[in-house]
């Protein structure tokens, strides 16, 4: 019996009201108006960092060495040629003896990767596979996509032990449907008119996949507790459900008004939200939409009660937010405008990739050492124990700090160093269980900082060297949400 073992989501702390966006650019196309708000990744976040955040929520309480594979799906990879699944694996400090794969090319990549991961579970090779799905979607200013597109991530641990929702099968339809696209040189999405995408794609592909799934596995509409699919066109979402015969109580809220269209992770973020409210015996259909549609059937087990309330899911992140009330700041975060940063912003240090490789576990995985004699942890990794009463030499074992919480020992705000979100905040963090190091602080205002404030670690972009094509990743401290 294989299926979903655990789940996790991640939505950025920042939200921007669609009214703010419309007031700035709505004069171009009045018909683009949309209610609600959308999630905005911070300037130091991308699809990789958000995938790590969702995966850490998913893996909380699980032995990471038991994970046998990691699949990553996105349409907004920060690299055209570099395995992002391998970056995520290193950041999570998973063993290197696992299979990894990247999925892209369509917003259906999330559900396609989910099917591949479920089919890839093999007791002889990989008893569990971690799926990470994430997107930072960018629409051209003034377009309907700018109001619709949002940022977020979801993660599922798939396996055969402790399954909270068993996998019963899938059904897919595939079409070369040119409703939207991006070429290698495009930064923002290109799209044909919305009516074409709605009428010829969205209204047809999703019902075809769901109907095919029901027919193939001889399941009736009445057997389904929740049907889940993206709601990028809310009115059509309701019309599809009504036309297919689903009662409104069977339809998962599409969250378009409060979350937005998060691309590849959209259907999986909705699936996580449905699991948070599910009960044993519920059967669920989740469908994606892209170049066609994938539909998957799950049935919730008694194990779901152990996961609910313990995992950081979609609902918790929807409640934890900060308003981004500046459209110009939003443009700066997405690198659509280039504000003057001064000479300090141009002085990006040279990155020795050989050093990044040698110290990959220390830099990307935030792994230090712990003394085997006295138990004192320390970061960075050392050969000599820092405990003055011990001082043992070469008696160290690896020790991971990324999943440890801590408290602020001291902090400062810096108005000289450039950051799109001034001032820059730095803090010395005392880790629970021992260890101390200084970190940048993000998702926080200096006015809210205080000594003793609880924080946790978040994988972020430390800098971007556009000349060298290098993204420097490291960990920052964030207030516990």
The parent domain of residue 434 ranges over 343-349+405-479
Contacts of 75 (CB under 8 A, 6+ apart): 104, 105, 106, 107, 109, 135, 137, 182, 263, 264
Classify residue 72: in a domain, yes or no: yes
Which of 285-289, 307-311, 462-466 ranks highest by mean pLDDT? Answer: 285-289
Which has the higher per-residue pLDDT, 460 or 127?
A: 460
- 417 and 302 housed in the same domain: no
CA distance 120 to 181: 29
3-state secondary structure of 464: strand
CA distance 47 to 460: 10
Q: Domain with 119 in it: what CATH number?
A: 3.40.47.10
pLDDT value at 349 more than 80: no
Residues 244/268, Cβ–Cβ less than 8 Å: no
Q: Domain with 421 in it: what CATH number?
A: 2.40.50
Hunting for tokens 């060495």 — which residue is that?
A: 65
For range 213-221, the mean pLDDT: 96
Final residue belonging to a domain, choices 302, 333, 364: 333
Q: What is the pLDDT of residue 92?
A: 98
- 169 and 80 housed in the same domain: yes
- 324 and 464 housed in the same domain: no
Q: If you average pLDDT over every residue of the chain, what do you get? A: 94
State residue 170 phi and psi, 5-degree precision. Answer: -145, 165
- CA neighbor of 360 nearest in space, from 93, 13, 78: 93
CA distance 411 to 88: 29
pTM here is 0.95
- 168 and 25 housed in the same domain: yes
Final residue belonging to a domain, choices 333, 363, 384: 333
Residues 101/129, Cβ–Cβ less than 8 Å: no
Enter the DSSP assignment of 31: G
Final residue belonging to a domain, choices 286, 303, 333: 333
Q: What is the pLDDT of residue 26?
A: 81
Strand order in the sheet with 367-371: 377-378, 367-371, 396-400
Look at the chain and report how many structural domains it folds into: 2
Contacts of 454 (CB under 8 A, 6+ apart): 405, 406, 407, 479, 480
> Hey, which bits of 301-401 come out as E strands?
322-323, 367-371, 377-378, 396-400
- 151 and 282 housed in the same domain: yes
Q: Radius of gyration over alpha carbons of the chain, in Å? A: 23
- 31 and 153 housed in the same domain: yes
Classify residue 365: in a domain, yes or no: no
- 305 and 221 housed in the same domain: yes
Tens of pLDDT, residue by residue over 299-313, are 999 999 888 878 889
Which has the higher per-residue pLDDT, 467 or 428?
A: 428
């Amino acid at each position: 019996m294989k299926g979903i073992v655990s789940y996790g989501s991640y939505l950025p702390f920042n939200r921007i009201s669609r009214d703010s966006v419309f007031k700035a650019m709505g004069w171009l196309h009045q018909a683009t108006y949309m209610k609600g708000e959308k999630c905005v990744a911070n300037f130091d976040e991308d699809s990789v960092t958000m995938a790590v955040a969702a995966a850490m929520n998913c893996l909380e309480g699980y032995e990471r060495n038991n994970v046998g594979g990691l699949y990553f799906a996105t349409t907004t990879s920060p690299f055209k040629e570099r395995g992002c699944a391998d970056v995520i694996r290193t950041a999570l400090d998973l063993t290197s003896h696992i299979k990894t794969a990247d999925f892209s090319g369509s917003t259906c990549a999330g559900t396609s990767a989910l099917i591949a991961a479920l089919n890839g579970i093999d007791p002889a090779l990989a008893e569990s596979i971690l799926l990470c799905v994430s997107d930072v979607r960018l629409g051209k200013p003034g377009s309907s996509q700018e109001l619709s597109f949002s940022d977020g991530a979801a993660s599922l641990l798939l396996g055969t032990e402790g399954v909270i929702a068993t996998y019963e099968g899938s059904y897919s339809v595939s079409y070369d449907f040119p409703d939207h696209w991006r070429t290698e040189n495009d930064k923002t999405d290109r799209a044909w008119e919305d009516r074409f995408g709605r009428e010829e794609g969205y209204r047809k592909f999703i019902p075809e996949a769901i109907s095919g799934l029901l027919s193939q596995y001889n399941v009736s509409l009445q057997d389904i507790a929740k049907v889940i699919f993206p709601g990028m066109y809310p009115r059509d979402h309701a019309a599809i459900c009504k036309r297919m015969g689903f009662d409104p109580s069977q339809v998962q809220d599409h969250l378009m008004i409060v979350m937005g269209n998060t691309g590849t992770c959209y259907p999986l973020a909705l699936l996580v939200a449905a699991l948070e409210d599910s009960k044993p015996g519920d059967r669920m259909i989740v469908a994606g939409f892209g170049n066609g549609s994938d539909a998957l059937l799950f049935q919730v087990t008694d194990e779901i009660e152990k996961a609910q309330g313990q995992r950081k899911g979609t609902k918790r992140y929807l409640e934890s937010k900060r308003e981004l009330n500046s459209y110009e700041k939003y443009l700066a975060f997405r690198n659509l405008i280039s504000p003057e940063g001064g000479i300090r912003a141009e002085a990006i240090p040279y990155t020795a990739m050989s050093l990044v490789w040698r110290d990959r576990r220390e830099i990307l995985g935030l792994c230090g050492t712990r003394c085997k004699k006295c138990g004192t942890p320390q970061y960075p990794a050392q050969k000599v124990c820092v405990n003055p009463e011990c001082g043992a030499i070469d008696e160290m074992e690896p020790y991971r700090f990324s999943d440890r919480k801590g408290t602020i020992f001291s902090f400062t705000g810096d108005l000289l160093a450039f950051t799109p979100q001034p001032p820059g905040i730095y803090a010395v963090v005392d880790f629970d269980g021992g260890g101390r190091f200084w970190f940048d602080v993000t998702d926080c205002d200096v006015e809210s900082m205080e000594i003793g404030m609880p924080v946790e670690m978040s994988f972020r972009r430390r800098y971007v060297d556009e000349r060298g094509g290098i993204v420097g990743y490291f960990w920052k401290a964030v207030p516990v949400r």
